[in-house]
A and B are shown apart, each in its own frame.
Chain A
């Protein structure tokens, strides 16, 4: 019996190494902006090279639109071949229900444990010792992007940190520039808050609140400072009437806004617009206050099917995504950091290098997505969005509601 199993396994391995079968795999994702689409094309190219076919099932409009579709397809018993999902707690239940393909065998064979850096990313894909997803990139939300054109217009030097930036705001206003570009979607305001939480409140406060769900920390005086800074940001963003994050980024690119607090994926947009880091724009990780980034990111999951051919193709796709050259090509386009420490990124621009340096020094935090349930994250989003758009809500009021959410977090 054991022999047969090994035999079967080795033939399967053989089939997979020679890609004897060509299989169509449908891939769902919500990467539809310019930089994102260019990046995802690299994955498709790598997968198609093996003779298989990547059938693209992009759904625009962020995870909120795509997620019911993805989950329906999985519970409906006719799943796609692979799907993007933020790893960590979002997919937990699907894995527990046995709906996701176990990738442990290729993970062990290819030694993912040794190449994935930081290893936390792989841990977020692991449940009960088994690997269920492929982390594909590292995204850190804690950046501010500053427009050189806007500062030239205002006649002030480009600031080097958050307090300089706040001080420069009146000059920007005089020059007719909106100091802070901010899209209306609620996750963007939440991202800005979390960024301020690291920059103004510090690492300890960040982990105490988000990882340990410490309600006392959320109600502390340090946290009040964060809310105060957030209230300042609210004023700075007056007049930025845009919806999407990349529309806000576009305001920075065109010099209509002084800066934007946004994750490193904004980089892809600067790249598409042919802007050069350090010359046309400046990026400050941790808002220039705290050289630290959180390591969130995207991952791909592979729903389980009975078809051995599809399973083999899914594994081929998984291993192609983690390949060195694909990681480099994908992440350069996406503006994110690769998930493996052993690749050559000499082609990276200034901003990515800053990120890589911080990563190498180990100054990393877990991302909100990894530690909070979707429910808690959603409630925080609503609160932040409400606060940011309604000047009648006081800092004290918002903070006490924040404490409530953290207290009830699961």
Chain B
């Protein structure tokens, strides 16, 4: 009996297992394998080509002593927090407005969503153009008579990352709005009716009833937003190229520059290992909640 069980275990769901082979391969070979490869080489002296010359923690020591890395992290934190908050806020607000049975819903939705069809390269370029002090918004306002008006986020160290944020939100909030709108559409009409009967004000219904019901949407949305934040690279390259100076550098760009401009793979890998670590710290609790919680239902 016991001997017979083994093959049954293995061959149960055989088709499903075969179907999952691409996923398993991708997960193990590409994501786990390449990450392991990267982590391993972050302890080596790899320059232009990967080598196995071991140097211990040297690359990490150097990483954390680089002003540019620290600025990159700070920028990512600012960009990340604001991007997360505003994406959710704006996305939800727009979705809620569109959900009021308004006319021209299709038109408005298309307007909010179309930037998502454009690449970050294009987004960066256009916003560089609109924010250019000599041609863009600053010039218009000055031409209207406000001679001292200054609005040059891309040329100002202190606020350049907000200029990038401005463009990033423009590109990405449409998708978030769509996700939120879809979530709202999934809420049962009866809940609204019941809330109205009970005399609960609208904002309270949203906050206390609707949003908690939309938990799955928020999770999908968070994954999409967060993955976008960690990887932000193209936008910065196209819009500011990290400038002025190094004021708008981000970690992904640090990785890229060290790997290819400085030809110091080891340093680039050390930086990306730090990025992976951060992602893990965020993701493990999520995976635990998502799957740990599910099993109880089954």
Contact = CB atoms under 8 A, between A and B. Distances in A.
A–B contact via C-beta, under 8 angstroms = yes
A63 B260 CA distance: 9
A93 B49 contact: yes
A184 B244 contact: yes
Nearest to A71: B48
Given A67-B261, A90-B263, A373-B263, A386 B241 contact: no
B133 interface: yes
A374 interface: yes
B260 A68 contact: yes
Given A68-B260, A90-B263, A373-B263, A75 B49 contact: yes
Interface string A55-76: 0000000011001100100010
Given A185-B241, A378-B261, A385 B132 contact: no
A390 interface: yes
B259 interface: yes
A378 B257 contact: yes
Contacts of A374: 48, 261-264
Interface in A251-294: none
Contacts of B275: none
A17 interface: no
Given A63-B261, A67-B261, A375 B247 contact: no
Given A375-B47, A389-B245, A64 B157 contact: no
Contact of A241 (B134, B247, B261): B134
B155 interface: yes
Contacts of A388: 245
Contacts of B246: 186, 382, 385-386, 389
B170 to A, nearest CB: 21
A388 B262 CA distance: 20
B263 A184 contact: no
Nearest to B47: A93
Contacts of A68: 259-260
Nearest to B264: A375
A33 interface: no
Contacts of B109: none
B48 A93 contact: yes
Contacts of B134: 241
A175 B67 CA distance: 38
Contacts of A375: 47, 258, 262-264, 267
A72 to B, nearest CB: 10
Contact of B49 (A90, A94, A241, A382): A94
Interface in B249-298: 257-264, 267
A232 interface: no
How large, as a class, is the contact surface on chain A?
Answer: 20 to 34
Contacts of A373: 47, 263
Contacts of A64: 257, 260-261
B63 to A, nearest CB: 12
A10 interface: no
Contact of B67 (A97, A241, A386): A386
Given A375-B264, A389-B157, A94 B241 contact: no
A208 interface: no
A163 interface: no
A139 B132 CA distance: 33
Interface in B51-77: 67-68
Contacts of B258: 375, 378
B262 A241 contact: no
Interface in A90-113: 90, 92-94, 97
Given A64-B257, A94-B49, A389 B244 contact: yes
B153 interface: no
Interface string A381-410: 010011111100000000001000000000
A92 B263 CA distance: 11
B245 A390 contact: yes
Given A68-B259, A375-B262, A378-B262, A94 B244 contact: no
B80 interface: no
A212 interface: no
A338 B261 CA distance: 27
A267 B264 CA distance: 33
A374 B133 CA distance: 34
A291 B160 CA distance: 40
Contacts of B242: 186
A379 interface: yes
A92 B247 CA distance: 32
Interface of B: 47-49, 67-68, 132-134, 152, 155, 157, 241-247, 257-264, 267
Given A67-B261, A382-B68, 4 more contacts: A90-B48, A93-B263, A377-B262, A378-B261
Interface of A: 63-64, 67-68, 71, 75, 90, 92-94, 97, 184-186, 241, 243, 373-375, 377-379, 382, 385-390, 401
27 contacts: A64-B257, A64-B261, A68-B259, A90-B263, A93-B47, A93-B49, A185-B241, A186-B246, A241-B132, A241-B134, A241-B152, A241-B155, A373-B263, A374-B262, A374-B264, A375-B47, A375-B262, A379-B262, A385-B243, A386-B67, A386-B68, A386-B245, A386-B246, A389-B243, A390-B157, A390-B247, A401-B67
